[in-house]
A and B are shown apart, each in its own frame.
Chain A
């Protein structure tokens, strides 16, 4: 009897990054208090201004409520059950990669991120963050020749305290929202990028985040500053082992672009998503915001969100400078019991500011996938324009897709265009492709990548093909 591949046959594609690295870690006791905040700051030997920032944020967080407006449901998070600091025991950052614990190098190699001199990617500098700590950053010297700073945020606090003090918390203030306040109080590590005036960053920069511990929250903080006329393209990737408990990940990313500067920020998010019944997986509550502070500046967010049990994430642009441009390109894929509520905010402040939003949501299994976006045009945003396109693709008949576009405009003449569509991959379409000799998985992947093309085209070349493969892998078995 002919047996065409069905959901059940293929669903059980294992998550290939689910292994745990057996390494000695230094952890503090679980729970959160002012003392814990002080302890984290002390461990990192931070200057007073930063401890102040943390404490202020912590006190504000205590006054805040966890937001409940997103289309997400999860059991309450017990913030006292989380460990707020964990680091592999080799504390001292090594001057040379040869001194880094081979187990860590091996871990990243297994994840497809070779760090060693011989094997590393030729035109991508990588900062590797393992649990709460950055363990290595490649190509630092080469970047330094161009005046580019690329290091962990902890190192930046030590070596470039003036820049940190000048920019940290200026885009996402310590009390911005519940999860941002929590992050501001306890953030552990992350990346810092500084591109000085007039410099075009000579290579792709990338941070790879790895959660290893099962009971640790990850609170990384990334800050990217591009001075006048500078430009940079940055990519972050993330994976985590499979645990049947949920881990909290609450990151903050701030981007600052001065006059004529350009920042392109891409994310391929593949945190562990939980099993097919929704057990385990990362709770991903992330605040990402870029400020086009200067005239003609340009910030572009591209995200491919495939992992996490819950995704709560709205990479946004504040378009302050005249003629500045904000872009948001997103593919969010949910399968099994995953839930995603993601989108963007384009806040047009300056005149003739322009923004583009392209969102592609793919929902399979019993998952739920919502686009939530705000386009706001303030009183000075004369001549501002926005174009939004939100497309949903449903696979199977148990998944849900929603679109919540909000528009607030004080510019009656402004051009704001919104297009939306929903489609479903049908068994007949797949059969058509199969009947032309194309295998089932390839057929699904052809249809999905066709759907996502506008977004994948925005990814740095090296990663576009990866993203394609990742989606295909995530969807195996979801159509039948």
Chain B
């Protein structure tokens, strides 16, 4: 088995043989590959899947530096990628992870430092160069063309000759699809696919082009828990076939479950590396501690005390039998009722796409309801629009920070003022007060430790996590009665996520009502007083914290038996 693996990697020098190889390798999943075993086992090097030690690194990045204006995003960072290895890159928000992989994928050019692929020094000036070197990237924001078929998307741009040999390509793509557990015809149009499926097509696309290095930047943040598990399985299989996988994630559990090597960045520099031995030796807990210490330079913060409210008394916000349409003819919310009380964090659990986003938008006034009423403090705000809802005291942290939460080209200060621009202190209704905007931005930056050169930097230049912090700061500054948050810790590093959870809890304790929509059950369990489970546009259960466990929630989310405790409203 080991010999076969070696042979595979050695023939990867030419593109065609590589592709044939992939097809062969993927077409015949190895029954003895460890991808079905428990995570803790699979990260151990096993004799049949590890590569012999005589191999040198596939990629060596040495002393890579990259500045963006005054910001040093990478400061003499080094990284080795070995074939047949999953390499996790960890680090807090703004540590330089995305920049580092962007340099490898040709999206950015380094200011200094060297990159060697198979020992030869290379310049990766553009994504096309990276592809030619066998470096494929799965972007977090997908690059597939929605109204082309899977086959067309995969083949698009990969064909060297003018004549498209579609028959051959189709067979190959069909095999890869089957192999990746996708029961789809190559002719299915991309727009019919779910996010998780699209992501797999992105991976197929990269592999079809002969990639033996696969870069994934926060690939799991868009996935449902089930999809995450199968993505990780897939990555393990690719590893076993000799692909070098780079995985950026903020979820330590994921990283530890699949990685053979972990590189930790901090402030743009290497802060530590744990090889297979180090990862295998110590217990999961001690590894975790070591990593967290290297990421933040301090031990993990303690958890929050968990007070519990039982959801009685006069509600602050009630939703009565709310329905709203998504596409014509299909309802995103079906007669949903809910009552939020002062002082409580009401968690909403559910598999993504079961109406959670629509629930948030309906309350925020951003999406009209077709039937039902929304009442805040006795005042009806149904279908009054966003401005009216905001004025009435509702703040909404969207999960779509890039496309609707912020305007990339406008400054941090302008984005912080975005929702309250027509009011004091940012304006008198007519004239802007730019100084007040800047001051508010400075306060937000200080309060959330946002990494940015200053309030006048375009917000699109900040790292994902830092944008998320500003988004939250903006809504909190509205001083709302009800705070609706959709995935507020999305893309935040562990410590910041923790801080944010703490802030939400404080907001509730200070007398506000918080509706926390999240796909992270741990987070929900940590700070919620009650947790509702959404399935198919309905609240199928509302559990007091004491009765909610990972198992019960998971069960309900997947359509287990209905247990409508305390029907709200």
A and B found bound together: no
Binding site for A on B (CB under 8 A): none
Binding site for B on A (CB under 8 A): none
